[in-house]
Amino acid sequence: MKKPNLPIIILCLAICVSGIAALSLKTFHTVNSTTSPYLLYLKVLQGNQQFYNVESGDYLDIHQLKETITSDNLPFSIQQFAIVDLTQNGIKDVVLQFSLAENNQAGFIILHDESGTIYSYTLVSRSMSDLKVDGTFIFSSGASDWGIGSLILSSSGYEIEKISYCESSLFFVDKLPATQAAFETAVSQQGFKENVTWYNFTDDNLSLLTQQ
């Protein structure tokens, strides 16, 4: 009887094991695009699904969120969340408000679905305050550089699209040059828009994602 070729058998087994491992990893990272994004958000927030963090370029789980913000040994927790369509594409996003050390409103983490993959983006609090249901908000880079904006989200990062804003002594309304009075009127009108609803970060409130 001819002896089996052990090196070939071992090589075949190694290829099979590698293929299975790769398939398992891919399944954990990506989900069929027909799956409800709100179910994916829930799985991410429950620690049962990974998300892609655009800042680090890594797939992480919810327990690794702090690593994307700071390496310091500081208390970190998610305080509240909101469900809002930031990009106005018909699919709502999840905005997590987090605390760091003694700062109860240190910033925000956005979870955004794109074809079945959940992406996360981190913003400091002054980059997105007074969030409205239409996805607009107040951004600020300083006393003379602030205004109304919205977010552009992609697989490589985010960009704040300035709508009505001031830069030094220049003013813009709907992206067009304007007077200071016109800018102040636009900001005043922005204040009358409906605010998003913030929910405490609890298991009961997370179930709201299944009702979207």
CA dist 56 and 51 (Å) reads: 11
Q: What is the pLDDT of residues 11-26, one digit of tens each?
A: 444 444 344 333 333 3
**Residue 99, beta-bridge partner list:** 77
> Residue 80 — φ and ψ, nearest 5°?
-145, 170
Predicted local distance difference test score (pLDDT) of residue 33:
59
Q: Summarize the confidence of residues 32-47 as an average pLDDT.
A: 88
Q: What is the mean pLDDT of residues 90-109?
A: 91
Rounded CA-CA distance 204/87 in Å is 27
Reported as a single tens digit per residue, the pLDDT across 190-211 is 999 999 999 999 999 999 999 9
pLDDT of residue 29: 56
Residue with the larger pLDDT of the pair 189 and 212? 189
Q: What average pLDDT does this structure show over 108-117?
A: 96
Mean pLDDT across 69-79: 87
The pLDDT tens digits for 125-154 are: 999 999 999 999 999 988 889 999 999 999
- For 29, phi then psi, to 5°, come to -85, -40
Domain ranges of the chain: 35-211
The mean-pLDDT minimum among 18-27, 52-61, 103-112, 138-147 falls in 18-27
DSSP string over 71-112:
-S---EEEEEEEEE-SS-SSS-EEEEEEEETTEEEEEEEEEE
pLDDT (average), residues 51-80: 90
